[in-house]
Amino acid sequence: MRKFTPMIEQYLKIKAEYKDCFLFFRLGDFYEMFFDDALKASRELEITLTSRDGGGDERIPMCGVPYHSASNYIKNLVEKGFKVAICEQVEDPKVAKGVVKREVVQLITPGTVMEGTMLNEKENNYIASLAEISEQVFAVAYNDLSTGETSAALVQAGWDSLLSELFNRPIREIVISKHLATDKQAALTARLNVTLSYCEEESINEPFDMLVKDLEDPTVKPAFGRLVNYVQSTQQRAVDHLKPVQLIVLEQYLGLDMYSKRNLELTETIMKKGKQGSLLWVLDQTVTAMGSRKLKKWLERPLLNHQALTKRYLLVEGLMHDFINRKELRTQLKSIYDLERLAGRVAFGNVNARDLLQLKISLGKVPCIKALLAQFSAADLVNRGAALDPLADLKILLETSLTEDPPITIKEGNMIKDGYDDKLDQYRDASRNGKKWIAELEQREKQATNIKSLKIGYNRVFGYYIEVTRANLHLLPEGKYERKQTLTNAERFITPELKEKESLILSAEEKSIELEYQLFLKLREQVKKFIPRLQKLADQISELDVFQAFATISEQEGYVKPTLTTGPAITINKGRHPVVEKVMKDQMYVPNDVSMDKTSQILLITGPNMSGKSTYMRQVALTVIMAQIGCFVPADQAMLPIFDKIFTRIGAADDLVAGQSTFMVEMLEARHALTHATENSLILLDEIGRGTSTYDGMALAQAIIEYVHNEIGAKTLFSTHYHELTSLEQSLVNLKNIHVRAEEYEGEVVFLHQIEEGAADESYGIHVAKLAQLPAALIERAAVILAELEAKQTEYEHANKQSVQLSFFGNEPEMAKQVQVKDYGKIAAAIESFNLMEMTPMDAMNELYQLQKKVREERQ
């Protein structure tokens, strides 16, 4: 068995308790890592890998980072999903017997980051936890440790719905039981790209039991218990800033599954995974970090409450009507720092004097904001101003205690104002006036002794001293001077007065810094008492910021207040896509109307590629979402019902993570919509069926349309290149054909981006290929092949015009009457009994094969 040095033995013992973490092991001015940690860290952080003797047969791999710059390296690891355990010396090396005692003082994980440099100020940093209540029911709890926000929800529609719920928030880490099924654990990491952590304890002890005492549904408590036990065990410090758990009743919010959120690009784009190009990018005219985070949360959970939305519209309208006051309000809000995270840092104990100075500056703006809001004509804005708590008592405390330019660290001094503490003032006086006092003493001693060459000096070994040359020693009075050091040509002395002052002067700065540190810790404890009021103020300020952002963008882009109706009709006059419109900048965006009522529950959209079908569909959904977060909408007029869910299938994308093809993704997303949609839902389906053969695709597309029409009754926009589907307008009373206009001019296609009634008469596929600048020879060959195919089709139709043809789209399946199969009734019954929504593609293929086999046997 290998024998290691005592220090390496200590490292291995601590590392055994933190196997899934990088252990930052404090040695002097460095955090060192050894063995596998060193190998991985050198690769991940691109730092030099060295080695050291550890007492064994071979040298131990080792790498390290400087203590003073460790935060950047920790940030790098945490952003990659790793955990870092900080192991500090907890014993003074001077008094240690043997190896200095070390302990892990903090575990930094992706979901528990508190340092401002490691956080995106405009993003929440959530950690979540799960509790499996039953096969179909899961409790989930969320916490943003940096702000104290805590919430929980009950998901009762199965595992897929849970994944959609978790996808809806920027979660970095999920705490689960180690007994959760391995396939579910794999799905969490693959689908959500999160770090998994484990905790079995679900009980809730003091003081955290107070955070759940008002919960209406106790079912979510196990998830919160698991979460808070994990946070407490990893952070090993006070988390007094956690807010009471807010129960999220999912049925009170617009349902947006992970497919819809992704396809509509609400908070990030599909391609670049960035904010620019998303709806959030357009709407985010906030000027505070708190406001930006609040806006994102509203986008993730649009409302269903008519009354709450009406109140939001009134606030936005009130801000729009008073441009001057709104602009001044915006200016004042810009000076407000991140109160939420400042409160979190106070509670967590890592706040510094500059943070508290930011808090003081922010509180100084609140009276101005209150006065501004009092000047608005909208009563709701006036009331919101009156409700703001300026925390005057906290502001006075900070004003009397803090200097105007404190250092970053809290152990350098110069944080506390003069006059705040008498003892500190004495130390400072001694430190500041020490040299002046020494110079004055030197002059007094020269006069008293009449020794012109007498001087007072200082060195680190002997401290302060009075130096007199040997020639003048006889002039010194008896008994006053005490010899301290003998030199070749002089003697050095000290007097009781100098000795007393020396002690005060030399220790004054050190004692001043230590006392300031203690005074700051006491100040921080005093500020902790204001955390609940600070959090409430932060919430009020962030909402004001979002409302002014809505008013600002609405005025800039010409958005209008929507009218919410209780009926089923949608009317949007000259609606626009907010993102495309902004991206186009100086180009003219072509607006389009949307009209859907009982006779047009389904809009079947045809037209060439690139003509704007997908844009038209998306703009309807984005308009609905904007209306249901309380923002005005991009249109000249909009009358909308409140939708309960939005489902989308837009764009072709393989799901390589799950090993699924484009067609499988299409079918899964379609199934999700068909399973969960209601008559109050909005469904967007773009080019369903294109991932398989033509007839398969057409059959599936028609079947889906008919199912939505007959079984669900949801508002549906369905775009397609299968022109044969347009005949459905004759058989489905609530379906209406519309198309995107395109004109051919001198051999070129011109997209007009205008929606008109009726079906498109041509797809212009080759023209689009030409626009994409495919080789000219290829385009010419495609035109020849198209002409040949069209000629053959015409010849075929002419030859068979008297025959009864199989049609997927006629009112009567005529061909079925001609099929000479003895057991046709049984086969038809078998087909009718299939539950396609619950079958896998392979199951469906097997059943189809068996039926085909039976038909062939009957014919023989």
Q: Report DSSP state, residue 477.
A: P
Q: Distance between CA 466 and CA 455 in Å, rounded?
A: 6
pLDDT for the residue numbered 503? 77
Whether residues 439 and 513 share a domain: the answer is yes
Q: Is the pLDDT of residue 802 over 70?
A: no
Check pLDDT > 60 for residue 799.
Answer: no
Does the structure show a pLDDT above 80 at 129?
Answer: yes
Side chain identity at residue 451, one-letter code: I
Mean pLDDT calculated for residue range 569-574: 96
438: in domain: yes
Whether residue 584 is contained in a domain is answered as yes
Q: What percent of the chain has pLDDT over 70?
A: 88
Q: Taking residues 337-357, report their average pLDDT.
A: 93
Distance CA 631, CA 623 (A): 9
CA distances from 369 to 251, 361, 376, 536 (A): 35, 13, 11, 16
How many structural domains comprise the chain?
Answer: 5
Q: For residue 249, what pLDDT band results from cuts at 50, 70 and 90?
A: very high
- 590-596 average pLDDT score: 95
Give CA–CA dist 760/738, Å, rounded.
Answer: 8
Question: Which H or E element spans position 467?
Answer: strand 463-469
Q: What is the pLDDT of residue 807?
A: 40
Checking if the pLDDT of 806 tops 50, the result is no
Task: Tell whether 609 is in a known binding site.
Answer: yes
Element (H, E) at 641: strand 637-641
Is residue 816's pLDDT more than 50? no
- Tell whether 471 and 436 lie within a shared domain: yes
Q: Is 114 annotated as a binding residue?
A: no
Band (pLDDT 50/70/90 cuts) for residue 335 is very high
> What integer pLDDT is reported at residue 656 of this predicted model?
39
Rounded mean pLDDT of 20-35?
95
Is residue 807 marked as binding? no
- Decide if 385 is inside a domain: no
* 417 lies in some domain: no
**Stronger pLDDT, 60 or 688, i.e. the higher one:** 60
Residue 734 is labelled as binding a ligand: no
Q: What is the pLDDT of residue 1?
A: 43
**Rounded Cα gap, residues 832 and 836, in angstroms:** 10
Domain with residue 602: its CATH number is: 3.40.50.300
Choice between 816 and 577, residue whose per-residue pLDDT is larger = 577
Give whole-number Cα distances, 108 to 242, 505, 539, 552, 723, in Å: 18, 42, 27, 39, 57
Q: Is 200 inside any structural domain?
A: yes
Q: What is the mean pLDDT of the chain?
A: 87
Annotation-wise, does 607 bind a ligand?
yes
Residue 156, domain CATH: 3.30.420.110
Res. 812 pLDDT band, cuts 50 70 90: very low
202 and 134 together in one domain = yes
CA 338 to chain centre: 16
Claim to verify: residue 83 and residue 131 sit in the same structural domain: no
User: Per-residue pLDDT tens for 647-671?
Assistant: 998 764 544 344 456 777 778 788 8
Which of 21-30, 676-685, 771-780 comes out lowest in average pLDDT?
771-780
> Could you tell me what percent of the chain has a pLDDT over 90?
61
702 and 578, same structural domain?
A: yes
Instruction: Supply the pTM of this predicted model.
Output: 0.83
* pLDDT on residue 777: 80
> Domain for residue 142, yes or no?
yes
Write 500-507 long-range contacts (CB < 8 A, 24+). Answer: 501/430, 501/434, 501/437, 501/438, 501/441, 501/464, 502/463, 502/464, 504/430, 504/434, 505/430, 505/431, 505/434, 505/437, 505/438, 505/464, 506/463
Contact 58, 7 (CB under 8 A): no
Report the alpha-carbon distance of residue 379 to residue 348 in Å, rounded.
Answer: 39
Q: Does residue 310 or residue 821 have the better pLDDT?
A: 310
378 occurs within a structural domain: no
- Selection from 364, 373, 362 nearest residue 336 by Cα: 362
Domain end position, chosen among 59, 86, 108: 108
Q: Are residues 25 and 120 in the same domain?
A: no
Kindly state the average pLDDT of the residues 221-227. 95
pLDDT at 803 (0 to 100):
42
Q: Do residues 77 and 182 share a domain?
A: no
Do residues 86 and 153 both lie within one domain? no
Instruction: Name, in order, each residue with C-beta under 8 angstroms of 728's C-beta and a sequence gap of 6 or more.
Output: 604, 702, 705, 706, 735, 809
- Per DSSP, 258 falls in state H
Domain of residue 51, CATH code: 3.40.1170.10
Q: Mapping DSSP to helix (H, G, I), strand (E, B) and coil, where does residue 436 land? A: helix
Model confidence at 332: pLDDT above 90: yes
CATH code for the domain in which residue 455 is found: 1.10.1420.10
Question: Are 62 and 21 a contacting pair, CB within 8 Å?
Answer: no
CB of 719 closer than 8 Å to CB of 608: no
Over residues 574-587, mean pLDDT: 89
Looking at the fold, whether 510 and 577 belong to one and the same domain comes out as no
Report pLDDT for 748: 66
Q: Is 694 helix (H, G, I), strand (E, B) or coil?
A: helix
Q: For residue 820, what pLDDT is reported?
A: 44
Lowest mean pLDDT among 95-99, 242-246, 613-617: 95-99
Rounded distance, CA 594 to CA 570, Å?
7
Residue 151 marked in a binding site: no
pLDDT for res 462: 82
Cα 141–chain centre separation: 16
CB 549 within 8 A of CB 319: no
DSSP 660: B
DSSP class of 401: H
Could you report the per-residue pLDDT of 505-545, keeping only the tens digit for each?
777 878 898 999 999 999 999 999 999 999 999 999 999 99
Give the per-residue pLDDT at 819: 41
Higher confidence at residue 800 or residue 212? Answer: 212
Record the tokens describing residue 583, joined without a space: 């991206």
Q: Do 60 and 184 fall within a single domain? A: no
Examine the pLDDT at 817 and tell me if it is beyond 70. Answer: no
Supply the range of the domain harboring residue 626: 560-773
608 known ligand binder:
yes
- Read out DSSP for 199-245? -------TTGGGGSTT-S-GGGHHHHHHHHHHHHHHH-S--TTPPPP
Query: Residue 51 annotated as binding?
Result: no
Contact (CB, 8 A) for 590 and 323: no
Give the span between the Cα atoms of 699 and 338, in whole angstroms: 55
What pLDDT, in 10s, does the model give residues 510-520? 889 899 999 99
Do residue 100 and residue 224 come from a single domain? Answer: no
Residues 239-261 have a mean pLDDT of 91
pLDDT of residue 264: 92
Note every long-range contact of 364-371, with CB atoms under 8 Å and residues 24 or more positions apart, other chains counting. Answer: 364/395, 365/332, 365/333, 365/335, 365/336, 366/390, 366/391, 366/537, 368/332, 369/329, 369/332, 369/333, 369/541, 369/544
Is 184 inside a domain boundary?
A: yes
When pLDDT is cut at 50, 70 and 90, the band that residue 458 belongs to is: confident
Assess whether 169 and 143 both reside in one domain.
yes
